[in-house]
Every structure is written in C-alpha cells, then in structure tokens.
Amino acid sequence: MINVTIETGQWAKAYLAERVMQISLPQGTQAGNLASVLAIGEDDAGAVIVNGSIAKPGQILQDGDKIKMLASIIGG
C-alpha cells in the first residue's frame, strides 16, 4: 500500500467528507483511475495534479504523493 494526500474542492463534497485527506491506496494505482477508486462520478472528476504537475496518461502514484483532484469542466 502507499499513503498519499488528496486535496479536492467543494465540488467533491458529495463523495468525500474532507477537502484534504490522507489515504492508503494499493501499489500501482494510476492517477487516471483515482476517481473510480474513490467512487467519484466520472462526470464530476477532472484533471489530477500530482506534486504540482498534471498527471500523465498511465502515471503510477507513489508513496507520499501530494495530489490535487480538480473538478471536470462544465458548460453548455
């Protein structure tokens, strides 16, 4: 398991109790799969920022990563 810090915004309140939380994830979890691992709706989760940089396709999360999950872009 790895331990990471995840920060979201008010948009995620329906899914996560805290805006900043420390959680354990299985080794090999991809940044791109984080929304489904946390059961956040596909339509609601947007880009994932890992240690200040936007996650690349297929990027594997590492122990100690600081993650910011952003809302998906909404509009007409």
Partner 1 sequence: MIYKDYIRVLNVDMASERIYIDERQDLMPYLGGVGVAAKLLEENMRADLPPLAPEQPIVFAIGAMETVYPVITKVVAMFISPLTGELGESYAGGRMGMTMFQAGFDAIVITGRAVRPTYLAITDTDVVFRDSRVFWGTGSGEVGRHIREYEQDQGSKLSIIRIGEAGENLVRFACVSVDRYRHFGRLGLGAVFGSKQLKAISLDGNRSMPIQNYAPYFKVMRELYKKATESGLMSKYHDLGTPVNVEPLSAIGALPTLNLQSGTYEHADKISGEEFASAHLVRKLACVGCPVGCIHIGSYRRTFAEHGYEYESVEVGYDYELIFSLGSYLGIDNTRDVLELIEEVEVCGMDAMSTGVALGWATEALEKGLVGLDDTLVDLKFGQSQAYRKAVRYMSGAENEFYRNLGYGVKHASSVYGGEDFAMHIAGNEMAGYHTGYAAIAGAAVGARHSHLCNGGYSIDQGLKDPDIDIDDMANAILEEEVERNLYNSLIMCLFARKIYDRDTVIRALSAIGQELTDEDLSAITKRIYATKLRIKKALNFDLSEVRLPKRFFETPSMHGKLDEARTYEIIERYKEMIAEMEAFT
Q: Enumerate binding residues for partner 1 (CB under 8 A).
A: 9-11, 13-14, 41, 43-44, 46-47, 49, 54, 57, 68, 70-76
Confirm if 30 and 62 have CB atoms less than 8 A apart: no
Minimum distance from CB of 4 to partner 1 (Å)?
18
Nearer residue to partner 1 within complex by CB, 1 or 10: 10
Minimum distance from CB of 10 to partner 1 (Å)?
6
Residues 24-47 as b/e (b if ≥16 CB within 10 A, e otherwise) read: ebeeebebeebbeebebeeebbee
Minimum distance from CB of 24 to partner 1 (Å)?
25
Nearer residue to partner 1 within complex by CB, 1 or 14: 14
Backbone angles phi, psi at 33, to 5 degrees: -100, 0
